[in-house]
Amino acid sequence: MPYVSTLVSDTPTPRIWSRIKKIAGKRSRTPTPVLTTNDGAIGDAFQAANLLVHHFNADVVVVGGGIIGACAALSLQQAGKNTLLLDQYPPPHHKGSSGGKARITRLANFGPPQLMAMLEDAMARWSHLSTLVQEELVSPAPMLVVGQKTENVEKMARSVEKSGHKPTWLTVAQTNAKYKTRFTEDFTMFEDHSAGVMRADRCLHAVLKLFRECGGGVEGGWKVDAVEAGDGWVSVRGPRGTVTAQHLLLCPGPWASQLLQPLGIHLPLQPLKTKAFLYKNPSFPFACLLDVTSLRSYTYALPAMTPGSVMKIEPGESDGEGDTAFLREKVAKYVSRYLPFGREEREEECWFTESPDKEFILDRHPHHSNIVYAIGFSGTGFKIAPTVGFILACMLTGRDPGFDITPFGADRFSTTRFKSRL
């Protein structure tokens, strides 16, 4: 539970101290910081600051209330750690990577072999979470995989087979009859029945609800702008106060560099803004679509999980700034050529954070093992979040997660430079 600290014994850093004096000075009517309360005047800045700057205590502080941080916070709280989740905006919100109502889940992937066990585990965890909140968070929906390059479609089919599922190959005529599409004879296609649609907003809501129910604390509007660490302790600071804890977990999504670089962790991450477009859907069945013609930028379509029949279509690329005109034109052209969608209803904005190999990064601070970070989840992190959250909780509590996470370490990037400034 939050408490007001005795800052006298906490020796605030010069920066905090100058802020305390500034706040206390602003609120007082005289040049000397004096704060008047119901009980009478309190005469010095230390005591004034006690009432103005909050100080929280926790076993673990998690920065980032997107789906990764929320799942990790839940796992930590379930493991008996008093956990405080901080976010610069009140979670859930739409400003990072976890907003919106729908995501795709599937087992097929082009990641390292170790990823498959994690994806399977994540499906089981989402199903368990659905049971706990008595709500269907993931609905089975076949994924129609299409492409004008047969080798790309075959590569995807092999990945489906590796997951223990059998791709259902379709002819162009069968596909166009079933999905009301207009694919041409140069396309190859199959259905992947391991896929599903996630109710993304309900998933995040459910995880935050369960976290609060088992005693976890959530603070929104709490931007962390400084971190200090020592042997077995960390302290994070922001305009709303200071949190001291034994462990720190950083899940900052597209804001990763702002938090990690001052800690001396420099990783080749690229935050990219992109757009998704929502179209009226009179006839495409409840299913997802993946076009793998270009391995550089897949085109996805999925049920938007909004009232009425609406499909969300994602261009799978970005110029970094989310240039709407360019992305809208690309999507509109694809829809008018191949898909039975109606008019465009609206657009959604989303950030993703790419590492050079498009795989995520789970690691520890090189000099402070009590600081762990999880970043770079690109366009695939939602489905795997409960498993990543469990692994992160194990990393912070000294338990064996039972997964080989070596391929996801930061040391795979030769450009990584660690210069700890803590």
Ligand X SMILES: Cc1cc2nc3c(=O)[nH]c(=O)nc-3n(C[C@H](O)[C@H](O)[C@H](O)COP(=O)(O)OP(=O)(O)OC[C@H]3O[C@@H](n4cnc5c(N)ncnc54)[C@H](O)[C@@H]3O)c2cc1C
Q: Please state the closest distance from residue 259 (CB atom) to ligand X, in A.
A: 5
The verdict on 85 binding ligand X (CB under 6 A) reads no
The verdict on 274 binding ligand X (CB under 6 A) reads yes
The verdict on 147 binding ligand X (CB under 6 A) reads no
Q: Which is nearer to ligand X, 27 or 240 (CB)?
A: 240
Q: Please state the closest distance from residue 38 (CB atom) to ligand X, in A.
A: 33
Q: Which is nearer to ligand X, 124 or 173 (CB)?
A: 124
Task: State the DSSP H helix or E strand holding residue 221, giving kind and residue range, or none if neither.
Answer: none
Compute the distance between CA of residue 34 and CA of residue 25 in angstroms, rounded to an integer.
7
Compute the distance between CA of residue 358 and CA of residue 352 in angstroms, rounded to an integer.
10
The verdict on 278 binding ligand X (CB under 6 A) reads no
Q: Please state the closest distance from residue 29 (CB atom) to ligand X, in A.
A: 33
> Which tokens hold the place of 17?
């101290």
Footprint (CB under 6 A) of ligand X, residues 62-81:
63-69
What is the tally of helices (H) and strands (E) in the chain?
Answer: 11, 23
The verdict on 383 binding ligand X (CB under 6 A) reads yes
Closest residue by Cα to residue 323 from 331, 311, 333, 334: 331
DSSP 352: E
Q: Please state the closest distance from residue 76 (CB atom) to ligand X, in A.
A: 15
Cα 259 to the center of its chain, rounded Å: 15
Indicate the residue type of 164. G
Footprint (CB under 6 A) of ligand X, residues 296-315:
314
- Considering only residues 77, 83, 88, 281, which one is a binding residue for ligand X as defined by CB under 6 A? 88
The verdict on 224 binding ligand X (CB under 6 A) reads yes
- Considering only residues 16, 62, 84, 104, which one is a binding residue for ligand X as defined by CB under 6 A? 104
Q: Please state the closest distance from residue 289 (CB atom) to ligand X, in A.
A: 12
The verdict on 137 binding ligand X (CB under 6 A) reads no
Closest residue by Cα to residue 12 from 27, 26, 24: 24
Q: Looking at 97-203, which runs of residues are DSSP E strands? A: 102-105, 138-140, 143-147, 168-170, 188-192, 196-199
The verdict on 276 binding ligand X (CB under 6 A) reads yes
Q: Please state the closest distance from residue 196 (CB atom) to ligand X, in A.
A: 10
Q: Please state the closest distance from residue 274 (CB atom) to ligand X, in A.
A: 5
Per CB under 6 A, the segment of 41-49, 84-92, 185-193, 408-416 that binds ligand X is 84-92
Compute the distance between CA of residue 223 and CA of residue 256 in angstroms, rounded to an integer.
13
Judged by CB under 6 A, the number of residues near ligand X is 37
Closest residue by Cα to residue 333 from 294, 382, 299, 378: 299
Q: Please state the closest distance from residue 8 (CB atom) to ligand X, in A.
A: 27
The verdict on 86 binding ligand X (CB under 6 A) reads yes
Q: CA torsion sign, 130 to 395 to 403 to 106?
A: positive
Q: Helix 385-397 and helix 67-78: axis angle, to 10°?
A: 50
Q: Which is nearer to ligand X, 253 or 303 (CB)?
A: 253
Contact 392, 83 (CB under 8 A): no
The verdict on 377 binding ligand X (CB under 6 A) reads yes
Residues paired with residue 62 on neighbouring β-strands, in sequence order: 85, 249
Q: Please state the closest distance from residue 321 (CB atom) to ligand X, in A.
A: 14
Contact 241, 224 (CB under 8 A): no
Indicate the residue type of 377. F
- Considering only residues 12, 46, 77, 87, which one is a binding residue for ligand X as defined by CB under 6 A? 87
Task: State the DSSP H helix or E strand holding residue 275, giving kind and residue range, or none if neither.
Answer: strand 270-280
Per CB under 6 A, the segment of 46-54, 166-174, 329-337, 344-352 that binds ligand X is 344-352
**Contacting positions for ligand X (CB under 6 A):** 63-69, 86-89, 91, 96-98, 103-104, 223-224, 251-255, 259, 274, 276, 314, 350-352, 377, 379-383
